[in-house]
Amino acid sequence: MRGRKKRDSWGSRLGVIMAVAGSAIGLGNFLRFPAKAASNGGGAFMIPYFVSLFLLGIPLMWIEWTLGRYGGGFEHGTAPGIFHSIWQKNRFIKYFGIIGIFGPLVIFIYYTYIEAWILAYSFFALTGKYKGIIDQAGMQSFLRGFHGLEHNRYFQGIGTAYFFFLITFILNIVIIYYGIRGGIEKVCKWALSVFFIFGFIILIRVITLGAPDPLKPDWNILNGFGFMWNPDLSALKSAKVWLEAAGQIFFTLSVGIGVILTYASYLSKGDDIVLSGLTAASANELSEVILGGSIIIPAAFVFFGPVDIQNIAASGVFNLGFVTTPLILNKLPLSSVLGFMWFFLLFLAGITSSVSLAQPAVAFLEDEFDIGRKKAVSIFGIISFILCQPAIFFLGRGVVDELDFWGGTFFLVLFATVEAIIFAWVFGMEKAWDEIHKGADMSVPRVYKFIIKYITPLFLFFILGMWFKQEWIPIIFMKKIAADNRPFIIATRVGLIAILVILAVLVKIAWRRREQAGA
């Protein structure tokens, strides 16, 4: 057997909890969640949301923590090796694990660019670059100019956006370069501390908002919370609402991506995963439901009223984050300071997520090819930098939406389904139940034994089935894509297929090397 270098490890229990929470806490908590909740029944949305959390999110979280820690004992930090360590008799199962590297990589190559927008807007807030803009049309023009999609008095090209992308990309690579304990853990501890401080300061400011127009006393913060949280129970009859809620749980907990598998692989056999996983999930839910659900939509109601708020809630994440939010912040005292705090907390949430997305690919190179950390990060940095370019220069052609669907939606659910089946039916529920509780400070309620084995896989199959029924044909045949954008979408799909094929070849090479070395 060939000698292997010692794998990296977490410095403390708090460190891994903060890192996993940092991976989960991201832009979706503050932008995607409030928009989805407000446009899907308000408080009624929380019923399918919490049902999905308890039947889908928490079980998958424990599944991934358990599989990751188990695979780490065999010196595997990514899904191909972890799946193989569980089902060694099946020589094809490791290829299903490719999705656990593919998904995070695809999300990383567009997520870092969006992250760069947030860093730029925190700078714009401090310098007052968008301060004089007073309406949606003006702020949309500002955003389009920033993206290089139009020339205006604010921007003459994509140069500013690309400059902030370079800063953001380099920061990500530097953090990853310093490893699990020296880079990711340290940054997540610091970043989440600042994140929650800024978040609660802004929340207090929103709660204390008065009605800005004495002629419109109903435009107040209490009615803003009412718009966000009063339940429209008729929405529960819609399958779309239930699917939206389940989808949000996937996004918010970072399950089904492969990141938690990798993070958990750096644990030792005696490390608790039951309470640690639950704590990380709870920190994410605090940031999403309490902070994310109580800031933007209620504040927008105060300034835009009950009519415009309907359109704002349904306007999409980018419009909510980069058009409506700056307009709201402009109307507040100390708008520059609050604007900086808001966008910087989003940036901190983003970077703790993006470094986690890079780790599976880096861990794959380290564990399966015995490549040192520095060299593995250098390889990842060069390749991912090249792959980022289409998302930057063809943003207006739908490339980011295409990457998000395959990397951050479809393959995410498919991978979660594979994980659930392997865990409960291949690994075996009895063995899996024992593995979950090794080193645990608390017991998982026994009802979850039934939920993990039957309910969670069925729920996942239902989601996949509904997506195939409702979305598959329009997406495959690009029915909603403008004709002049279709060549770019086809090229993106060819590129994604090429990434999958290359990953499959690399897995084959890695296992051939292992066999030849007698490992």
CATH number assigned to the domain comprising residue 246: 1.20.1740
The pLDDT of residue 169 is above 50: yes
Per-residue pLDDT tens over the stretch 191-220: 999 999 999 999 999 888 877 777 788 888
Nearest to 69 by CA among 321, 436, 369: 436
pLDDT (0 to 100) of residue 506: 97
Average pLDDT over residues 287-295: 89
Kindly state the average pLDDT of the residues 169-194: 95
For residue 4, what pLDDT is reported?
55
Average pLDDT over residues 79-106: 93
Provide the token pair at 191: 């970043």
The mean-pLDDT minimum among 79-83, 132-136, 416-420 falls in: 132-136
pLDDT surpasses 70 at 518: no
pLDDT at residue 294 tops 60: yes
Q: For residue 336, is it within any domain? A: yes
Instruction: Give strand pairing partners of 42.
Output: 231
Query: How far apart, in whole angstroms, are the C-alpha atoms of residue 244 and residue 238?
Result: 10
Does residue 361 belong to any structural domain of this protein?
A: yes
Output the six-digit token pair for 192: 């989440």
480 pLDDT band (50/70/90 cuts)?
confident
The residue to which tokens 């794998």 are assigned: 7
pLDDT score for 130: 92
- Asked whether residue 377 is domain-assigned, the answer is yes
Q: For 230-273, what is each residue's pLDDT tens digit?
A: 888 888 887 778 878 888 888 788 888 899 999 999 999 889 99
Mean pLDDT calculated for residue range 490-494: 96
Number of domains composing the chain: 1
Would you say residue 4 lies in a domain?
no
Q: Mean pLDDT highest for which of 23-27, 91-95, 105-109?
A: 105-109
Start-to-end CA span in the chain (Å):
5
pLDDT at 144: 94
pLDDT at 410 over 90: no
pLDDT at 41 over 90: no
Band of pLDDT at residue 5, cut at 50, 70 and 90: low
* pLDDT tens figures, 364-385: 999 999 999 999 999 999 999 9
Q: Is residue 6 part of a domain?
A: no
The parent domain of residue 435 ranges over 13-517
For residue 21, which amino acid is it? A
Helices 335-369 + 486-517 axis angle, to 10: 40
Among the listed ranges 69-83, 85-99, 320-334, which one has the minimum average pLDDT value?
A: 320-334
* Interval 167-187 mean pLDDT: 96
Do residues 17 and 276 lie in contact, with contact meaning Cβ atoms separated by under 8 Å? Answer: yes
Query: Is 3 among the domain residues?
Result: no
What pLDDT, on a 0 to 100 scale, did the predictor assign at position 1? 41
pLDDT mean over 54-71 = 95
d(CA 519, CA 517): 5
Domain membership flag for residue 2: no
- Residue 7 domain-assigned (yes or no): no
Beta-bridged to residue 231, according to DSSP, are: 42
Q: What is the mean pLDDT of residues 108-125?
A: 96
Are 275 and 58 in contact, with CB atoms under 8 Å apart?
no
Give dist(CA 156, CA 152) in Å, integer: 6
Average pLDDT of the residues of the chain: 90
Q: Among 37-41, 252-256, 435-439, 457-461, where is mean pLDDT lowest?
A: 37-41
Tokens of 481: 């894509």
Tokens 């930057």 sit on residue? 392
pLDDT confidence band for 184 (50 / 70 / 90): very high
How far apart CA 467 and CA 416 sit, in angstroms, is 15
